[in-house]
Amino acid sequence: MKSLGLFKRWEAVLALILVVEILFFGAINPAFLNVSTLLYSTSDFIHVGIVALALTLVIITGGIDLSIGAVMGLSAITLGLLWVAGVNIWVACFCALGAGAITGIINSVAIQVAQVNPLVITLGSSFLYSGASLVLSGLGGASGYEGISGFDDSFVELANLEVMGMPFPLVIFLIATVVFMVLLHRTRFGRYIYLIGQNPRATRYAGIPQFRTLTIAYALTGIMAALSGLVLASYFGSARSDFGSDALMPAITAVVLGGTSIYGGSGTILGTALAVLVVGYFQTGLQIIGVSSHIASALSGALLVVVVAMRSLSEIGRAYFQLWRVLNSTGKQKA
């Protein structure tokens, strides 16, 4: 029974899914089980994970940030423009992260000043930021969707750098996972995040700095989105304004699959991290066994639908079971 109790934790289920999935694809194509294949295939999807970690915070507060994809492109373009203007590449990286933080702060201030649903505000700001990155790339001479390339070699090699036998983006992801785990589960700030998600009004009456907490959460999301844009720029060796447009939905998918409630108030970083790997390896695995990438993405959508529907069904089932138990016990008392 105790081992069954373990599976009440959603993270355990995710870990099991991950192992089963890797073994399944490995059984069809043994090349998949190669450790270096497993490690290096993460470079294709890990940028989603980097931003999903921070997005978890925002979704736990009951908000959402639809502008992350736009911010990814904006940070890459900022980097590219500054590089073209002759700024040192590391200073440019720092500025790009700063731009990310600013976008997050703008989001947070707009949401709290207007008191409008974050979904709507960040939808508007995503148009603004993606428009801004198009304007910047247009002003920078790279017309339209053309990229800015020719970065410093040390920057481009960063994505292929090997640290302790692992690709550098994966290392960034692992470090970020640990940092966010500590931040969310071991600090006062993390507890505030949960409380805001559970009950904003109680948070306000308890005198908790709601504005500051939310602003930090959104700013962190902006910074991580910018970081993931930089990782992409380094990985591809060029900066484009439409970098992040495909990353938004997978990032939300990872957060939701990781067990975070879309209504806020619950969720874990570990769940998100595992879900990133589950979705990422699902895609790569399908491609390795010869499924075309479009169908692979369709099946990822189906995976999300099935998993979430099953969770929802099991919750409905549990509610009925509880009801039945209560009714049953009252019936016995009467007899």
Query: Is 304 one of the binding residues for other proteins (CB under 8 A)?
Result: yes
- Among residues 71, 61, 69, the alpha carbon closest in space to that of 111 is found at 61
Q: Count the residues in the chain.
A: 335
Pairwise CA distance, residues 183 & 225, whole Å: 17
DSSP 12-43: HHHHHHHHHHHHHHHHH-GGGG-HHHHHHGGG
Positive or negative torsion for Cα 296, 298, 299, 301 = positive
Contact map string, positions 248 to 277, toward other proteins, x by CB under 8 A: -x--xx--x-----xx--------------
Q: Beta strands of 101-153 (E only): which ranges?
A: 148-149
Query: Is 171 one of the binding residues for other proteins (CB under 8 A)?
Result: no
Rounded to 10 degrees, what is the CA torsion of 239, 47, 126, 77?
A: -20
Contact map string, positions 3 to 42, toward other proteins, x by CB under 8 A: ----------------------------------------
In three-state secondary structure terms, 149 is strand
- Among residues 42, 29, 10, 62, the alpha carbon closest in space to that of 202 is found at 62
- For Cα atoms 250, 50, 33, give the angle at the middle one, nearest 5 degrees: 75
**Binding window for other proteins (CB under 8 A); candidates: 35-43, 94-102, 131-139, 202-210:** 131-139
End-to-end alpha carbon distance in the chain: 31
Interacting residue with other proteins among 61, 103, 108, 126 (CB under 8 A): 126
Closer to other proteins by CB, 10 or 168: give it. 10
Query: Is 119 one of the binding residues for other proteins (CB under 8 A)?
Result: yes
CB of 119 to other proteins, least distance (A): 6
Which residues in the 139-158 window bind other proteins by CB under 8 A?
143-144
**Nearby residues of 280 by Cβ (< 8 Å), 6 or more positions away:** 41, 42, 44, 45, 46, 48, 49
**Tokens coding 187:** 């600090």
Contact map string, positions 77 to 116, toward other proteins, x by CB under 8 A: ---------------------------------x--xxxx
Interacting residue with other proteins among 6, 202, 313, 326 (CB under 8 A): 313
Closer to other proteins by CB, 99 or 170: give it. 99
Contact map string, positions 35 to 64, toward other proteins, x by CB under 8 A: -----------------------------x
Which residues in the 192-211 window bind other proteins by CB under 8 A?
none
Q: How big is the site for other proteins, counted in residues (CB under 8 A)?
A: 53
Interacting residue with other proteins among 58, 99, 132, 247 (CB under 8 A): 132
DSSP 41-95: GGGGTHHHHHHHHHHHHHHHTT---TTHHHHHHHHHHHHHHHHHTT--HHHHHHH
State the residues that interact with other proteins by CB under 8 A: 64, 66, 110, 113-117, 119-121, 123-132, 134-135, 137-138, 143-144, 245, 249, 252-253, 256, 262-263, 292, 294-305, 308-309, 312-313, 315-316
